[in-house]
Amino acid sequence: MTVIDAVSVQRRWSMLGCSLLAALTTTCVVSGVAYLIPALHADAGLTLTEASTLAAIPTVGLMVAIIGWGMLLDRYGERRILTISLSISLAGASAAAAAAFAGASYLVLGACLLIGGVGSGAANGASGRIVVGWFPADQRGTAMGIRQMAQPLGIAVCALTMPATAAAHGIGAALAIPAVVTAAGLIAVLIGVVDPPRHPTRVVDSHAPAPKRNPYRESSFLARVHTVSVLLVVPQSMLWTFVPTWLIVAHHWAPTTAGVLITVTQVIGALGRIVAGRWSDAWASRMRPVRLIAIGAAAAMAALAFADWIDSPWAPALMAVATVISVADNGLAFTAIAEYAGPEWSGRGLAVQNTGQYLATAVTTPVFGALIAAVGFPLTFAITALTPLLAAPLVPDDPPVVEEPVA
């Protein structure tokens, strides 16, 4: 009997649910402020560039700390580090809401958001380790697809609640929502997460790293996956950040109506990640689906740009299609990295993955804000379509994988 078999199926899936909720807190803390850009722009008097920069601050905090969190996860395990990480994130998110309620300066608000971002960095890497540690290889794509629902579901929660709450009760009340979600995630970790064994399985292939060796020196596989993921996150983060402004400011939708459309789109995107994971399990491949997703994302963003340029009524539907496609690849890349890196390096490997993606988000968010102000949404959508087009030929082949259970 393997160590994976020693854990009941019910416990395994309950831990996956707890890790999903923990990862959802990261999305709410880091990405939630983007859904206040219309309120910050229209009500608080910030320019679109200034509001976009404020929305990027939690991402900066996450980015500077996430590799450190990954190293701590590799050394001390998931449960302990998740508890510390989410506690810091909760403190920052709560302080941000309190600062907004008190009418503090945006410098103070930004500092609180930065703390929240710094504290939120462990959840993605930890939950990735839980999937690879507790699930056999032929279920990991599906399990990681479920875990990766955290991002679109977190966006859905923020889109459905934060703009309407800001309009009705102010920015402080809206910022309290990520704090509440983070408190729930912390409770889930304390109740349900158990550290996976350090060596549940060993991946053996012609390129695989030996235990405790640096997998980045073995081949270019991880570096190429990181590069592809950075390119593919650009349309994803652009749509998540600016679609509310596109609908509310540019197309004069009511915040509630826009929130409902975004929520429905994100829920479909979350389910799409499960489908992509199951697809990768059936194909026994993580990278071939990623290549097709990249091509689809480029085509969808180009179609959205054209539809918006001619003011087509189909533009919102094409936005939904582009959003669903653009979020489908994340779980596949996470699974491939965790499998290839192994238990001694998966925390750092996933941290590098997240650092690259969040760095791309932090850099491009104010750039896209300025670009939208200068040339409008259609051309910005068209420019965004270039990054998945560049990603498609860079997708590496899958390394051959053989599972060797350890009793």
In this structure, what token pair is assigned to residue 157?
């929660």
Residues 193 and 110: their CA atoms lie apart, in Å, by: 31
Question: Angle 117-162-188 (CA atoms, 0-180°, nearest 5)?
Answer: 55
**Contact between 140 and 251 (Cβ < 8 Å):** no
| Predicted pLDDT of residue 249 | 83
pTM for the structure as a whole: 0.76
Backbone angles phi, psi at 402, to 5 degrees: -130, 125
Cβ neighbours of 6 (radius 10 Å): 10
| Predicted pLDDT of residue 4 | 56
The stretches in the chain having pLDDT less than 70 are 1-7, 44-45, 125, 127-128, 198-213, 400-407
| Predicted pLDDT of residue 218 | 85
Residues 365 and 242: their CA atoms lie apart, in Å, by: 9
Hey, is 281 helix, strand or coil? helix
**Contact between 254 and 112 (Cβ < 8 Å):** no
| Predicted pLDDT of residue 252 | 87
DSSP assignment of 110-159, as one string?
A: HHHHHHHHHHTTHHHHHHHHHHHHHS-HHHHHHHHHHHTTHHHHHHHHHH
Cβ neighbours of 360 (radius 10 Å): 21
In this structure, what token pair is assigned to residue 123?
């959840």
| Predicted pLDDT of residue 6 | 55
| Predicted pLDDT of residue 212 | 53
Hey, is 44 helix, strand or coil? coil
| Predicted pLDDT of residue 359 | 83
Question: Angle 162-163-168 (CA atoms, 0-180°, nearest 5)?
Answer: 95
CA dihedral of 316, 319, 325, 326, whole degrees rounded to 10: -150
| Predicted pLDDT of residue 203 | 44
- List, in order of start, the domains of the chain with CATH numbers: 9-405 (1.20.1250.20)
Cβ neighbours of 407 (radius 10 Å): 6
